[in-house]
Structure 1
């Protein structure tokens, strides 16, 4: 099928995609072994598509064509996209094709593995000269003044920006009511990164960015059947991203498989002088994060998985069965399950969170009528909380610091490699209800957490995921374990049964950047005080 990069394949030409895996910087092969049958490039995982792009068997324009066509044909009931940017995307695809050409590779070496891959951005990430609205009427007409650091990095790596995906307004809730779940469009996608998860689940784009302030990446990943990584706090810069709650906003990645999400994360992470918290992160693993399982009979031998007491008992029967099956898979692969007690969440959470949210939203106090009713009530309360004594905020942050250490002690005392928790608590939540789960532990500890598909409910057919949480800065270890689980049980390959529902998605071209100075064109500068992730275990 060796299509030359100088000639995209015609619309009518069909091809069987055969992938043997991408050679990573480690010399490993990433992706599924053997071949993957696909007549539509949009159905490929990011790692599979990267292989074909790198070997010049797939043209970036061809991949973009497929993703845009599928979006136009099927986004009517899903409504995952806020806006798309075809003019910009095709220009970026052409630049990617040039970098991937044999002549450029011979001259400058291989292009980054993400070069030519389309991506969706949550509608919180600034792109200079393009709208940035946080899916809210409050920011109608707002144009970003610059690029978020993560966007700049991905652009420099050659990725193709397709568009912005919906978020629950200002990332406030956990439903994203504008968006239908690709598995059942009457069901909730969770939030607040619901549009990003839906874009990936519907195969509109192979990758998406998200943010996680209280489960906002993991909850949508669970109910949409995709894989996601909420990294350690400070691994990825939040500069140029509209904030929710500064001290627990985590920027993360979403893909079909954990290898996809890990591939993207490796190009998002790193030090940013505009976000000093990133200086606390260690260097990224040499060669990037693992993208391939070791395999074998007992690949999880010697690994200890903490199972918090009572977490499975609260699940509906159909989800409990899937969760028990996942635990059985861990054991089957050689992992040891250890009963543990999670530490209680910090005291004073609500005042602490409200104070940080109010500090950002007070700039919109004259636009209260433009918020959705639930958001208006929450933001009104958050702004009012700014009048609370400063001691309440400091007491909360001290309690949070102790919680971080208590979480680390739990891991250390039980010699755990990770903890396992359900991705969600409820089955088949309908729009516009919120999807809920035990998720705050990872945001208050700042520790990394993944969510990977474990199966689907026998009652509703909605996917259900499992969270893996680890030690701060141990993304590589978590990813390696998740790779083994997905190698043994590749549930992520299941596809949502979307039917034809066309949509004329709003298209926007680059325009004049906003005045700034912040890339978001709002007052988004964080406070000088920021909590940092720690591996400490001593009490304070």
Structure 2
């Protein structure tokens, strides 16, 4: 096995034991990136020289006994919405082509303190306003999208150009690319992780979280970036293997199972059976006020995105890509009354979901309704003959957790007939990441499929 193929905790054990150095690990990751970037285009820019300097510093610290923990010496990448001192944050847009970050974002500072090694910045769908990241390719099938908007981040982790990444998620932008690239992705509870130093899309829907190869790796990163500890435990990794006996798992009868590929639904039923066999209790539920979810999301994101971009859009509209410029121009037309109505609708949704969660501990649902689309593919055609745009299909299953601010984890669970990966999504109560991670760990440990093919 090459060093770039390791997950974080396996690499950390080798580093702590003196069997692998941060220099060796970082060099392996950077060499892998150089080999793959012409094919995948995950990175906006590699920060190779700085990464190697940081790796040498980490190696020296560990040798003299200053080991900071499992993230010390581990290479990772940042979505190009997240500031890192001395590097551009372009948001993959010409609008910010001259930007240079003067300071670390809050999350980059936390990971620097933990000893992680930043390898560079990865592509996003322009300003995170999309679900495909067209400038990057899926390592499972380069003719297909890696998903978005954190598509470059997921692609880099999938092929071995980093052991983990931080992305952002406004309507599925961590979970969708993680699912389409065979990875774990965690959108934490709203405001659990700071958004300081992160280019916004929609302030009330934006979340920052990890993309990683295992549930335990995602938990380790959450330990470093969370603004509050995993009470009552000291770590989100603590007790991951304790099981799910007595856990009440909600199985929705509506919304999440409409217009979903049959292979994905079949795999979800297998995961339900696995959880039940491990002692979980399956509880049938109805998703309340389901018809309000998507209109509420648009009613929030449109005015907030318009407010952030208004000045630049009026000053230099030609610097935006056509797709995002058109979306933002539509956002500008949404009246203030719609925003007020959307905020009231969210309050109603939160109250209704709290009542639903009185009877369950989490929901088990699909992350995506379909595997990765071809580049340039506009829509999916469902078995009933209906057609749905790619963006609408991916937003539909992921955006409830954004509108409600709930923790949501995707874990890879299957491959379709074309050999493309998809994930199962676990949605929990606010600040109950531990329960979501425990259930995700059980799903991960029980699966029979390997998801490391792009790193072979």
In structure 2, relative to structure 1, the CA distance for the partners of 1:432 and 1:145 (3 Å cut) is farther
SS of alignment partner, residue 247 of structure 1: coil
SS of alignment partner, residue 204 of structure 2: helix
Kept in 2: contact 1:423–1:465 (CA 8 A) = yes
Aligned counterparts, 1:113-124, within 5 A:
113-124=70-81
Aligned equivalent of 1:425, options 354, 357, 369: 369
Post-superposition CA distance 1:377-403 (Å, at most 9, x none)? 011122343xx24x4322221211221
Q: Which residue of 2 aligns with 1:160?
A: 117
Kept in 1: contact 2:8–2:70 (CA 8 A) = no
Larger Rg over CA atoms: 1
CA distance in 2, matches of 1:51, 1:222: 27
Aligned equivalent of 2:345, options 399, 418, 424: 399
Post-superposition CA distance 1:109-151 (Å, at most 9, x none)? x422201000010000111221110011221121112210100
Give ranges in structure 1 of 5+ residues lacking alignment. 1-37, 271-280, 500-540
Q: Which residue of 2 aligns with 1:355?
A: 303
Higher helix share: 2
Residue 479 in structure 1 maps to residue 437 in structure 2: yes
Aligned equivalent of 1:75, options 31, 37, 43: 37
- Residue 286 of structure 1 deviates from its aligned partner by 3.7
Q: Which residue of 1 aligns with 2:281?
A: 336
Q: Report how many residues are paired.
A: 436
Residue 302 in structure 1 maps to residue 246 in structure 2: yes
Residue 456 in structure 1 maps to residue 415 in structure 2: yes
Aligned counterparts, 1:108-507, within 5 A:
110-270=67-227, 284-290=231-237, 293-294=240-241, 299-310=243-254, 311-312=256-257, 314-343=259-288, 344=290, 345-346=292-293, 348-365=296-313, 366-385=315-334, 388-389=335-336, 391-412=337-358, 414=359, 416-433=360-377, 434=390, 436=394, 437-457=396-416, 459-489=417-447, 491=449, 493-497=450-454
- Residue 427 of structure 1 deviates from its aligned partner by 3.3
Higher relative contact order, structure no. (Cα contacts within 8 Å, ≥ 6 residues apart): 1
SS of alignment partner, residue 397 of structure 2: coil
Kept in 1: contact 2:153–2:211 (CA 8 A) = yes
Kept in 2: contact 1:225–1:453 (CA 8 A) = yes
Post-superposition CA distance 1:207-244 (Å, at most 9, x none)? 10011100111111111110011000010000000001
CA distance in 2, matches of 1:291, 1:432: 43
Kept in 1: contact 2:305–2:331 (CA 8 A) = yes
SS of alignment partner, residue 466 of structure 1: strand
Post-superposition CA distance 1:267-323 (Å, at most 9, x none)? 0111xxxxxxxxxx576554211266436xxx3221111111143353222222222
Aligned equivalent of 1:89, options 45, 48, 51: 51
Instruction: Give me the TM-score of the superposition, normalised by structure 2.
Output: 0.91
- Residue 473 of structure 1 deviates from its aligned partner by 0.4
CA distance in 1, matches of 2:223, 2:261: 36
RMSD: 1.8
In structure 2, relative to structure 1, the CA distance for the partners of 1:428 and 1:234 (3 Å cut) is closer
Q: Where does structure 1 differ by over 4 angstroms across 4 or more consecutive aligned residues?
A: 281-285
Give ranges in structure 2 of 5+ residues lacking alignment. 378-389
In structure 2, relative to structure 1, the CA distance for the partners of 1:313 and 1:329 (3 Å cut) is farther
- Residue 156 of structure 1 deviates from its aligned partner by 1.3
SS of alignment partner, residue 77 of structure 2: strand
In structure 2, relative to structure 1, the CA distance for the partners of 1:473 and 1:255 (3 Å cut) is same
CA distance in 1, matches of 2:351, 2:339: 19
